[in-house]
Structure 1
Amino acid sequence: MVATSTLIVTAIPLLYLAFALGLGLWSRGEADQETTEGYVAGNRGIGLLVLYFIMGASILSGFAFLGGPGWAYSRGAAALYILVYGGFGMLPWYLFGPKISRLGREMGYVTQADFITDRYDSRLLSGLMAVVSVGAFIPYLVIQIKGVGFVLNEASNGLIPFWLSALLPFAVIAVYVFTSGMMGVGWSNVLQGIMMIVLAWGLGLYLPFELYGGLQPMFERIAAEQPTHLVVGAPEMPMLRYSSYIVVSALGFVMWPHLFMRAYTADSERTLKRTVVLYPTFQYLLIPILLIGFSGVLYVTDLSNPDRILPHLVTTLDLNPFLVGFFFAGALAAAMSTADAIVHAAASITARDFYKPLFDPGIDDRREARLMKLAVFPIVGVAYYFALFSPVEIVQLLAGAYGAIIQFLPLVVGALYWPRATREGALAGLFAGASVTVLFTFFAASPLQLHAGLWGLLATTAVFIPVSLVTEVDDIEFAREIIRLSRPESVRDPPGSPSGVATDGGTDPDAPGDEGEGRCSR
């Protein structure tokens, strides 16, 4: 007979799933879900509260609630890299974000590849970026599916099998992303973010006091009994490798398409900048999450999978079942808050950046929005399949995905600041960087134990710049116009200046038919 406490612990996360589904479906009415702009960008009307939680909750995911404690438990101080890159990762967006937002409103962009491939005038680049993006999204989704599978399976004490534990939350996500698009993701992230903040701090402070009598006694005992656990650069994570993980994660932070695309959703540039300034406050959530992992170092010695340290601690302590149930619901919210944003972005990219430019450039807006919705279910299905059979550690999955996404950084910088950057340079650079990253991720040991994505970034840059210098920009006036339009209106150069568009034959952004439309297959 199943114990009453197990039923209570299981019921609370399931009730949370039902509430999340209802909220996701309710929010659809705030934007026209039958248009691309409404489905992808929420009609560009998202305010500070929702944008803050979208940006925060989209990053602090199943990786944070499961992989973060897992690294603190198994690798100790090396897990602090999560705090470092999280603190610095949003800083570039204070510069890039407003520029991207302005271009989105001027040119009608709603995805990352919209902007980049329009600037470089290449449908092939759009397709290549879509493949790289979705290819990186799949392991990121696998992380979340494994996370929700762990949570419900542990919460139910095995009553709900892993395959069903992983399936139920993603079925909920698929339904509200299908029906409500960006607005469903946004308001769900508000709910999920609030739950994460409250429950992470509650559990992160409770466990050290329950097991050790406080934070200081916990670290004093670890220092006395396992001192290498508190040293960065231990054999499991040499300093050079540790540093490369920070660099790649910080630089690649806002290159993730689902975060990049949020610049298009803000209702104003002021909202976007305030979100960037406030974002580090959400990173404080990582402190109690790491404390959870450290609290298990001396109490759990035979855990085969470090990513299970949080559910293991919660279920083995004599806690009130209602409290345990809420903790599991918080972990479930963490995984879902990232998963819904990724599913939404992956479906949008599949239709907008892959199918449309390569196979049906003339597709109308409503058919495109429908295609995005239909792409939701196969994307979830593919990630679910890999989640059931992939033995890779959660943090390693995320690190590999970052290595792929960071290759977009030179192309973004070139498009925003360097009119001399060319299509050939962008294509050659991206291909070189992605190839090097794949090589050192799957087929060969990375030199100096550096993150494979760092070698890829060096390759992308080393190819992108010289190839651009030896090839010609097809439309230098348009390249300069992109840079001009990315600036605030009060400081824009007039058309005809070196940074603007020449008046004799150049592109006039106010000409009929140009408003809200890029030039490359849009």
Structure 2
Amino acid sequence: MIAYGWLGGMRSVAYTDTMQGIALLVGVFMLLIGTIVYFGGVPAAGDYMKTYSPENLGVPEGGGLIRWSNFLILVGIGAAVYPNAIQRIFSAKNERVLKRSFTQMAWMPFLTAGVVFFIGIMAYTAYPNLSVAESEQLVGIMASTIANQNIIFYIAMVLLFGGIIAAIVSTADSVLLTFSSIISKDIYGRYINPEASDKKKIHVGKIIGVIAVALLLIIAWNPPGTLYQIFVLKLEILVQVAPAIILGLYWERSHAKSVFTGMLIGAVVAAAFTFLGLTPLGIFSGVWGLMINLVIYVGGSFIFGTVPSKNEQLSLTNSEAAEPTRM
């Protein structure tokens, strides 16, 4: 990951995406085929659950509906502001290529994640009594079992896990690049050493990135919870930047200090509720933080924000038109 970030920069994001996308697509479909061949299809899994655990086929009620609604909000909004998704803009050759890639990305997650979802359903007949920790290893267990059947599935499973590793590297190096850029330009270059050259700023960002990776490796070696809990916590913090990015692009009255204050307080509330184990009314801490974030952002912008005059808008439009397009 460090090598990608040091040597490849933003272009490395596109390289890793291409490699892991091909490997994952081939590997996950081979895993699906192997699961159907050796463990039966979805109808067999449905009959098994209907007989031995019918509660798994029921429609969520009450608290279950609230949890699913919260989760859909976090994933739907949080995924839209993923750092590695936004960075695709800077890796695109031109606007046409960018639009075409986003068109494909719109439906691709339903295909890849949907396949894994069905694999999990079909695997229930083979491993019905797994604990929470064991269930997070289900894909690995299934892949290991299928890989031992013949050489074709063995090669496919090696390709699958190579793609998974590449996907992890791709996402992590995107976040690392963003974090390093924030440190080098927004903090070091603006407040600590405004006279520093671009080369020195980049060097500082890279060093801080290495330190951050070392700390994250320690946390990864001693994870604070299950993969699901870590995933939810990540989205609860990440979703707090959504109002700044989404509303900030279209709402002319947005007030910078209100945006930052809402984002900061929303993140603090989400983190505090999570570590204290608080879920008032069954609503996730990240959703509480997002609602408070929006109230501060919108309220502060209405009170302190101003709408640009027509002359200011015309001047801004002319200045943008005069600049050469850079991708």
TM-score interval, smaller chain: 0.7 to 0.9
Contact 1:195–1:330 (CA<8 Å) still a contact in 2? Answer: yes
Q: In structure 2, what is the equivalent of residue 339 of structure 1? A: 172
Offset at residue 405 of structure 1 (A): 1.5
* Matched position secondary structure for 1:496: helix
Structure 2 residue identity aligned to 1:509:
S
Match of 1:251 in 2: 77
The correspondence for 1:305, drawn from 134, 137, 141, is 134
* 1:468 pairs with 2:279: no
Larger RCO, structures 1/2 (Cα 8 Å, 6+ apart): 1
Residue 509 of structure 1 is matched in structure 2 by 319
- Tell me which of 271, 276, 286 is aligned to 2:97: 271
Residues 23 and 162, structure 2, Cα contact 8 Å, conserved in 1? no
| Separation (CA, whole Å) in 1 of partners of 2:297 and 2:197 | 34
How big is each residue's C-alpha offset from its partner over 1:68-107, in whole Å with a ceiling of 9 and x where there is no partner?
xxxxxxxxxxxxxxxxxxxxxxxxxxxxxxxxxxxxxxxx
- TM superposition shift of 1:362: 3.3
Contact 1:403 1:437 in 2 (8 A): yes
Question: Which residue type is aligned with residue 134 of structure 2?
Answer: N
Give the equivalent residue in structure 2 for 1:315: 144
1:206 is aligned, of 34, 37, 42, to 34
* Structure 1 or 2: more helix by fraction: 2
Equivalent residue number for residue 22 of structure 2: 194
Q: Does 1:377 align with 2:223?
A: no
- Deviation per CA, 1:309-357, whole angstroms, max 9, x where unpaired? 1222233454235633541442342243223333333333332333323
Change beyond 3 A, Cα 1:297–1:370: same
Equivalent residue for 2:56, pick from 219, 229, 254: 229
CA contact (8 A) 1:422 1:472 kept: yes
Contact kept? 1:428, 1:467, Cα under 8 Å: no
Q: Distance in 2 between matches of 1:353 and 1:328?
A: 41
Change in CA separation of 1:314 and 1:241 when aligned onto 2, cut-off 3 Å: same
Written as runs of structure 1 = structure 2, the 5 A alignment for 1:63-82 is none
DSSP 3-state at the match of 1:392: coil
- Say whether residues 1:500 and 2:326 are aligned partners: no
2:256 corresponds to which of 423, 430, 433: 423
- Encode CA deviations 1:445-471: one digit per residue, 9 max, x unaligned: 212222221111110111112222222
Percent identity of equivalent pairs: 20
| Corresponding residue pairs, total | 319
Tell me the secondary structure at the aligned position of residue 184 of structure 1: helix
The Cα shift of 1:391 comes to: 4.1
| Alignment root-mean-square deviation, CA | 2.9
Give the gaps of 5 or more residues in structure 1. 1-172, 481-494, 517-522
Cα distance, 1:234 vs structure 2: 6.7
Q: Take 1:428 and 1:510, find their aligned partners in 2: how far apart are those partners? A: 29
Residue among 96, 114, 118 paired with 1:291 = 118
Residue matched to 1:215: 42
Q: 1:208–1:295: 8 Å Cα contact kept in structure 2?
A: yes
Distance 1:296 1:280, change over 3 A: same
